[in-house]
């Protein structure tokens, strides 16, 4: 059953949990027979746990756009820019297709902050959201204009993290 009124949600801030929150929404939506499409910007590493999980869930599709390497904010590789533009174009097609109830743009805020895509492109994408689609944008450093246009904004704060004690990323927890 489609949503009567889809909203725009933003999960941002320096703390952990932005992608995790969006994946939780995807899981909840899929459990209510909603169709979910997740587009990951700047992620091409094949070992994220969510890639394995969504293969087992028929109502969730996930597609990555990015290289396995980290993006250099000060000097992004042209391939990173190209991948981000491909992700944005794909997002536009998916969002307006009428095939999905929820569209998640994971790390789109970071792609914008790294100047891989333009603010006007993201705002135009937000403006093109059909009424019955829930749109979620994640990533630290959400632009103030994106925050202003969103219906729900949650800022994840970094109060304490195991990384501070030298604990590295853990399989099944951080990836």
pLDDT digit string (tens) for 4-31? Answer: 999 999 999 999 999 999 999 999 999 9
8-165: CATH architecture: 3-Layer(aba) Sandwich (3.40)
Longest dimension (CA), the chain: 46
Split at pLDDT 50, 70, 90, the class of 102 is very high
Q: Return phi, psi of residue 79, to 5°.
A: -65, -35
Quick one: pLDDT at residue 10? Answer: 98
Please give the structure tokens belonging to residue 69.
Answer: 């390497």
User: Please, are residues 18 and 140 in contact by the beta-carbon 8 Å criterion?
Assistant: yes
Does pLDDT of 2 surpass 80? no
Q: Return phi, psi of residue 40, to 5°.
A: -100, 120
Residues near 51 by Cβ (< 8 Å), separated by ≥ 6? 62, 64
Domain ranges of the chain: 8-165
CB atoms < 10 A from the CB of 72, how many?
Answer: 10
Quick one: pLDDT at residue 63? Answer: 97
Please give the structure tokens belonging to residue 113.
Answer: 């902050």
Tens digit of each residue's pLDDT (9 = 90 or more) over 109-152: 999 999 999 999 999 999 999 999 999 999 999 999 999 999 99
Quick one: pLDDT at residue 175? Answer: 84
- CA pair distance 60, 23, nearest whole angstrom: 10
Quick one: pLDDT at residue 106? Answer: 98
Tens digit of each residue's pLDDT (9 = 90 or more) over 20-66: 999 999 999 999 999 999 999 999 888 888 999 999 999 999 999 99
Split at pLDDT 50, 70, 90, the class of 1 is low
Using CA atoms, how far residue 32 sits from 17, 25, 59, 139, 143, in Å, is 23, 11, 10, 26, 31
Report angle CA 161, 18, 1 to the nearest 5 degrees.
145
Does pLDDT of 3 surpass 80? yes
User: Of 40, 42, 44, 106, which Cα lies nearest the Cα of 71?
Assistant: 42
């Amino acid at each position: 059953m489609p949503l009567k009124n889809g909203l725009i949600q933003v999960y941002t801030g320096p703390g952990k949990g932005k992608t995790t929150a969006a994946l939780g929404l995807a899981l909840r939506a899929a459990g209510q027979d909603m169709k979910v499409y997740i587009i990951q910007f700047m992620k091409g590493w094949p070992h994220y746990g969510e890639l394995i999980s969504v293969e087992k869930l028929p109502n969730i599709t996930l597609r990555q756009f990015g290289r396995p390497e980290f993006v250099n904010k000060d000097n992004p590789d042209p391939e990173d820019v190209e991948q981000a533009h491909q992700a944005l174009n794909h997002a536009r097609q998916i969002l307006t297709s009428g095939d999905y109830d929820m569209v998640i743009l994971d790390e789109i805020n970071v792609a914008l902050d790294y100047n891989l895509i333009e603010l006007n492109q993201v705002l135009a994408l937000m403006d093109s959201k059909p009424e019955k689609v829930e749109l979620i944008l994640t990533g630290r450093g959400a632009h103030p204009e994106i925050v202003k246009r969103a219906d729900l904004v949650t800022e994840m704060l970094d109060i304490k993290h195991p990384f501070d004690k030298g604990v590295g990323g853990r399989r099944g927890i951080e990836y």
